[in-house]
A and B are shown apart, each in its own frame.
Chain A
Amino acid sequence: MRKKLTGYALAVPMILGFTLFYVIPACIMVWYSISFGIGKREYVGLDNFMELFENEMFLLALKNTFRFLAICVPTIIIISLVIALLLQKISKHSMVLKTVYFYPMLMPIASIVLLVRTIWGEHLQSTKAFVVLCLLYLWKFFGYHVLIFFARLQMIPCTYYDCAELNGASGWGKFRYITLPFIFPVIGFNVVLAIMNAFKCYREAFLLGGEYPDESIYLLQHFINNHFQNLNYQRISAAAVLMLFIFCSASLIIWGFYKIARRMSNE
């Protein structure tokens, strides 16, 4: 009995704080998204969501966000996997190189923005802004994934590779049958982290393009931010709840895949 009480006592501060600053705001937001009115709010149902889907800017933002995710996340995973494999072949200076690759994640954004404006200033007002944003995202976060992949690759025992060489396996064969199954769980983590970081890239888009950037990099968070200024709570809440819902379902899908993969590897 006493054990349980100490457990509760230890966990309570964090749970209280988390509820206060994350769960309660989420509940407030859900309430705002299904109600309408200035002053007194009354239940309106899904009208806000309907209105949202008819809003052009929201659809544009949604399309841009999905396009950004669909292009950038696989790219960064493949690139960092390739670089981690290459780094494995050099054992001497790999620590220094890993440190260097990780460094862009620590840089303050304003200086990067300055440089990007100097080099690619004129492209930022055209559709090429999307390419610039993608490059910025890749540059900033690939070191993180390289580190993770490298750590996991180090755990594969050499004997597997030696056995495979003795049996005459080619490079691609070694990769497919030894490396890939080992890395598979970590790819899931990396995808989640890459999505998290992709949403953090809103900061760069905001600093490069301002509040109303070019059409190709108008992200969901731009939408939310702009309506923040005119205190249009309904739209913001509806958009935010929609994002929450998308994340929920995405997490469930990924978790489902993970379970299936586990079950398959156990068989």
Chain B
Amino acid sequence: MSRKDSVFLKIFLISLAIIVISPIVHMIWMSFGAEGDFSFQAYYRVFLTEPGYLVKFWRSLLLSTLIALGQTLLSCITAFAFKNYKMRGTKVILCIMVLFMILPIQVTLLPNYLLLNYLNLLNTWWTLLLPNIFAPFGAVWLTFILMTIPKEYIEAASLDGAGVVTVLCRIVVPMIKAPLVTLFLISFVDSWNMVEQPITFLQEARSYPLSVFLVIMNEQNVTTQSVCGMLCLIPVTLLFFYYHEEFVDGIADAFALH
């Protein structure tokens, strides 16, 4: 590969990166005043005068963290159970889970609405928490990852007298740390950006999380909307920068070892 080719390649890839980043740059530029006058007024209004935005931010953060944590823990336990213990029907259940994983949400949205109405859970946060914590994506992903761990580790540990909890915490979790972190990240991002479920299940506009609020906010005030968009970006960006190495490793583990 000659030097000239290499330089062209770099220029091409870097310009692609710039195109990819341009919406964010546009958003930052719009937040400083789109009509031409550079002012911090939108920032002042969103951050210091109306507490509604920031309160929604904290609530959405709590909701997303709970969902991500719940899904990760539950998937870990379930994948361990599926892989380690010979139970009948595991394959069938896994197949059904894979099928539901690929389906878009709209398919189960209506029956979920009826079911939650029947259980009297609509309009609370349990409607958002529960279907997302029991999502099948995590269990399927982690089951496939656990297939790559040799059985001998776990058998040796249980021969030495370790109980289930010890085996799980001390042996399995450190070995699949990268995919666990990836699952947490994906789950957090999915629940942070969810729009259809709150609109359908929650009926009061006051209790919408921040992502939905961004959508239904009227567009007269473009600067306020841009600042709220930036607020929306902050937790996801920070989390992603913190865990970006584990994330890449997690994806590499999942798809490279079959």
Contacts and interface: CB of A to CB of B under 8 A. Distances in A.
B87 A107 contact: no
A148 B133 CA distance: 25
A186 B252 CA distance: 11
A2 to B, nearest CB: 10
Nearest to A248: B99
A103 B20 contact: yes
Given A10-B80, A14-B75, A108-B232, A25 B108 contact: yes
Given A25-B111, A29-B110, A89-B9, A4 B87 contact: yes
A109 B195 contact: yes
Contact of B104 (A28, A109, A200): A200
Contacts of A15: 78, 93
A175 to B, nearest CB: 15
A196 B21 contact: no
Contact of A14 (B102, B108, B139): B139
Interface in A74-124: 83, 86-87, 89-90, 95, 97-101, 103-112, 114-115
A148 B196 CA distance: 28
Interface string B232-258: 110011001000100010011001101
Nearest to B87: A7
B124 to A, nearest CB: 15
Contacts, number: 223
A155 B255 CA distance: 11
B196 A203 contact: yes
Contact of A26 (B111, B200, B255): B111
Interface string B78-118: 10111011110000010011111111101111111011000
B205 interface: no
Contacts of B100: 18, 22-23, 26
Interface stretch (B23-31, B37-45, B49-57, B145-153): B23-31
B20 A104 contact: yes
Interface residues of B, number: 80
A248 to B, nearest CB: 6
Chain A interface, >50% SS class: helix
Given A89-B1, A151-B251, A108 B99 contact: no
B99 A247 contact: yes
A147 B94 CA distance: 26
A54 B185 CA distance: 44
Contact of B214 (A6, A108, A237): A108
B136 interface: yes
A115 B20 CA distance: 13
Interface string A188-226: 010010011001101100010000000000001100110
Interface in A9-47: 10-11, 13-15, 17-18, 20-26, 28-29, 32
Contacts of B27: 111, 114-115
Given A14-B78, A106-B236, A240 B136 contact: no
B211 interface: yes
A28 B116 CA distance: 13
A106 B20 contact: no
A154 B249 CA distance: 12
A265 to B, nearest CB: 12
A139 interface: yes
Given A15-B93, A106-B240, A151-B251, A114 B226 contact: yes
B12 to A, nearest CB: 8
Contacts of B109: 224, 228
Contacts of A114: 27, 30, 219, 222, 225-226, 229
A103 B21 contact: yes
21 contacts: A8-B81, A10-B78, A10-B85, A18-B136, A26-B107, A26-B111, A32-B111, A90-B6, A100-B20, A105-B189, A108-B192, A108-B229, A109-B211, A111-B233, A112-B23, A114-B222, A115-B27, A152-B256, A192-B102, A240-B106, A251-B102
Given A103-B240, A110-B217, A151-B251, 11 more contacts: A7-B81, A20-B134, A21-B130, A24-B111, A97-B17, A101-B17, A111-B24, A115-B26, A143-B20, A221-B106, A228-B200
